[in-house]
Structure 1
Amino acid sequence: MWISKKVKQYSYIHGKADINHTVENCNLILGIDEFLHGKKKNKQLESLSFKKFYQRIYKSPDNNYLDWVDEIKDGYKKYINRQKNLDVLLDKSYSDGSLLNNIGVQKNLQDMAMEECPKHKVYIFGHSLDVTDKDILKLFICNDNVETEIYYYRRNKDDKESLGKIIKNLIKIMGQKELIRRTGGTHKTIKFIPQEI
């Protein structure tokens, strides 16, 4: 498995607490979920300033995560396109036999077949995974080339209260079917890691 050597330390997706901030330049994101549906959410804007997505735009906290998401998606897209090209080349080479006689082409085909999809890791600490952050969390967690480790607190080894809450919130973010797919089987992409004091 190949994991990118570029390590991103962190992103302040909820802003950063700073003693030097004032009411005017504080960029902390403390908001509510969208409660309106359909056309209403784009027309009834009285409570807009309390919604997290609005605050992320208005207060401009650290948004490096958007660059990371682009990098993750671009890498996966390039990998899928390479695999499609490889399949086309292999079909052609086996159907007419011409490409298999060329040692250089054989080496290129072998190299392409050996390339693995670029993998990325996301570590989530101390986050409730509340649906109010669905727009950001889903960008990361719902990628097949992202392995997500979710660290959660428990009082003792039998305590599963926090884990239960996190699972409920993930269902709200991605749905039951997607959560089941990502937490089991050979293509598991989400791990829950308990932390005790």
Structure 2
Amino acid sequence: MLYVLDYREYYFPYNGYGDWKDEDILQFYSIVHDEIKALINLFKKYIAWIEMNHMDNLKEINLFNNMLITNILTFNYTDTYRTVYDLSIYNEIEENGVCWVHGRVFDDGSGDIVMGSGSDYYDRKYENFLDLFKFYQKYKYRTDTSYLDWIKDDQKFDNIYIFGHSLDPTDADILKSFLKSQSNIKIFYRTDSEKYHFEKNLLVILGKEMFMEKLSGKHPNIEFIKFENE
């Protein structure tokens, strides 16, 4: 089998039958690992290119113009919200009001970002790919955890808005800190199928008991809102 990466050729004496030798498997792991790292670096350059060439084409979403936003927890890698919406003192958000929980990509494509697999889950059989797991990347890159200071005071936020996040359980360690709070939580969705997908993810994160309490209990505080940009 011939494998090409960055114009370098790798040959493995494998024709689809029999077992690979240990050294072949380790070499293959190394190649796959390097290719994923190269993909992450390419993705950062792509993000920087988008920011440089297309940010001016973004249009405001009317929904946000009617909100007083004081803090932003972003899983993205760009400063899109403040670039598009910070047009008045009323809606101005200082740097310490933004938490780049997965890192940030700068104009030149630099910056350490979390772009990996899993959250709490890890198994020794994947040790060759340890630095591609989210929890390890957060540790390695010392990513922003200022959101932890925000939630020390359970009454800090009257409302928490979740927009553009799938509520994927791989981010449960971060999301649950907010979802279990007593704030009014509004989750925006576009289609019924998307809402159902969000509900399933929310069930995984919260567990059945808390899911029922917060969505249909005596004092529910999580609400799904259909988004229509008018």
Question: Shorter-chain TM-score category?
Answer: 0.5 to 0.7
Q: Distance in 2 between matches of 1:70 and 1:35?
A: 26
Task: List per-residue Cα deviations over 1:157-194 (Å, max 9, x = no partner).
Answer: xxx11001101111111112211110124411111111
- How does the TM-score come out when normalised to structure 2? 0.52
Do structure 1's residue 179 and structure 2's residue 211 form an aligned pair?
yes
Gapped regions of structure 1 (runs ≥ 5): 76-117, 155-159
Q: Distance in 2 between matches of 1:66 and 1:148?
A: 17
Contact 1:153 1:196 in 2 (8 A): yes
Task: List per-residue Cα deviations over 1:44-65 (Å, max 9, x = no partner).
Answer: 6333211112222222333221
Residue 28 of structure 1 deviates from its aligned partner by 2.2
Residue 31 of structure 1 deviates from its aligned partner by 1.6
Aligned residues: 136
Amino acid at match of 1:70: K
Rate the CA distance shift 1:170–1:6 in 2: closer, same or farther, 3 A.
Answer: closer
Match for residue 101 of structure 2 among 13, 19, 29: 13
Aligned match of 1:105 = none
Aligned match of 2:135 = 53
Amino acid at match of 1:189: N
Match for residue 153 of structure 2 among 71, 79, 85: 71
- How does the TM-score come out when normalised to structure 1? 0.59
Q: Distance in 2 between matches of 1:171 and 1:45?
A: 30
Residue 14 of structure 1 deviates from its aligned partner by 2.2
Amino acid at match of 2:225: I
Q: Distance in 1 between matches of 2:160 and 2:128?
A: 35
Q: Distance in 1 between matches of 2:173 and 2:203?
A: 14
Show the 5 A alignment for 1:1-197. Answer: 7-10=70-73, 11-22=99-110, 26-33=111-118, 34-36=120-122, 40=123, 45-72=127-154, 120-143=158-181, 145-154=182-191, 160-197=192-229
Q: Secondary structure at the match of 2:167?
A: coil
Amino acid at match of 1:32: S
Q: Distance in 2 between matches of 1:60 and 1:20?
A: 20
